[in-house]
Structure formats: C-alpha cells, structure tokens
Amino acid sequence: MYEGAVQDLIDELGALPGVGPKSAQRIAFHILSADSADVMRLANALRVVKEKVRFCENCGNIAEAPTCRICQDPRRDTTLICVVEEAKDVEVIERTGSYRGLYHVLGGAIDPIKGLGPEQLRIRQLLGRLTNVREVIIATDPNIEGEATATYLARMLETMQVPASRLALGLPVGGDLEYADEITLGRAFEGRRLLS
C-alpha cells in the first residue's frame, strides 16, 4: 500500500479491464515520473471523451453527434443491418472492408449469470429499424452468450419474416470478435449463411 493519492491512482487503474495489480502499479509510477504536460494531455483526453462521445441514437455505435458517421454516410446500404455486441466490434468489421451496410450495437449479449436478458440489450430498438431491410447479419461473438443471443434474434426475425444470417466458419469458437484478424473475419462475412 502506498500513500493516499498514489494508492488511489493504482486502485483506479487496477479497476480497468485487463490491468492487473502489477500493471496498475507500473502505470502509476510511469505517470508519476512522466512529463507534466503529457499527463495533462492524458487527463484531458479522458475528460473530453466523456464529454463529447455518446451513443448513436439510431444504431448504438459511438458518435460525436446524435447519429454516428456510418448512419450519416449516404453511401451505406441501408437495407443491410449487421448486429454486433459492442461498438468496438463495428470498427473490427469496418477494417475488413467486406461490408457496406449499417450496424446495430446491442450493448452486450444475453447472459443469465450476469442478469443480462433481451430487455437489457438494444433489441427493441433493432426491431424498430426493420422496415425496408432485406437482411440482418448477426455478428455476435462466437461464444456461448453470443450464440444464445444469435438464436434468440434469429427466432424474433423469423416471426417478423426478416431474412437473417449468421457469420460463418472461420471465426474461432470460444473467441472474441475483436481478436479475429481481418482475413478470418472477411472470410466469415463472405461465407455467412441464411438461418432456417
């Protein structure tokens, strides 16, 4: 344990995803010895991101306006909606260059252990976007929660008679969409198949 402010910083850093106690300590001491201007730039970036960045009213992607740059782009194919769990997955799919439609960010996956059901996700908003949509591509993570979410969505879309597809083989089972390389994800997109 360190003195007040240093320990507070270590605690805050340690609460971040992927930062263990040792890393938190290393980052804290890096900040302590770093140039004051550099640290202020970091502090400012943290402040600005919380002030300026919000979630797109339409798709739930990150945005610096009421809607995100993808929803605003007139060149996107508005008859395609790709459903992902998190906003970071949008960027992963964008990097493949394989997709020119719109997105819908659910804000997670169905996970009964964490108390996350369909009502906690942006599923109702998705169902409100389906007019003139020719296909919904379900790109939830290839793990248990992602599969459960995909199955749930596929059933809902079937009753609404909206064609749905799921990303195909090529993605590692039990993995996380954000760790897939562009080629794997690109092929998975090309090989997607219609459900039912």
Contact region with Zn ion (CB under 5 A), list: 16-24, 68-76, 85-93, 113-121: 68-76
Across the strands, what pairs with 81? Answer: 102, 136
Contact region with Zn ion (CB under 5 A), list: 40-48, 64-72, 93-101, 160-168: 64-72
Contact region with Zn ion (CB under 5 A), list: 6-14, 48-56, 118-126, 136-144: 48-56
Q: Which is nearer to Zn ion, 6 or 80 (CB)?
A: 80
Tell me: does residue 25 bind Zn ion (CB under 5 A).
no
Give the one residue of 24, 28, 68, 185 binding Zn ion; rule: CB under 5 A. Answer: 68
Contact region with Zn ion (CB under 5 A), list: 27-35, 51-59, 126-134, 156-164: 51-59
Q: Which is nearer to Zn ion, 68 or 93 (CB)?
A: 68
Q: Which residue has the tokens 């562009």?
A: 182
- Supply the DSSP string of 112-148, one letter for each residue: GGGTB-GGGTTHHHHHTT-TT--EEEE---SSHHHHH
Tell me: does residue 83 bind Zn ion (CB under 5 A).
no
Helix, coil or strand: residue 83: strand
Torsion of CA 43, 45, 50, 51, to 10 degrees: 100
Q: Which is nearer to Zn ion, 58 or 165 (CB)?
A: 58
Q: Measure Cα distances from 111 to 138, 140, 143, 177 in Å.
A: 17, 13, 11, 17
Q: 77-84 and 101-105: which strand pairing?
A: parallel
Name, in order, each residue with C-beta under 8 angstroms of 185's C-beta and a sequence gap of 6 or more: 92, 93, 96, 98, 167, 170, 171, 177
Q: Closest separation between CB of residue 178 and Zn ion, Å?
A: 19
Give the one residue of 25, 61, 140, 149 binding Zn ion; rule: CB under 5 A. Answer: 61
Binding site for Zn ion (CB under 5 A): 56, 58-59, 61, 68, 71
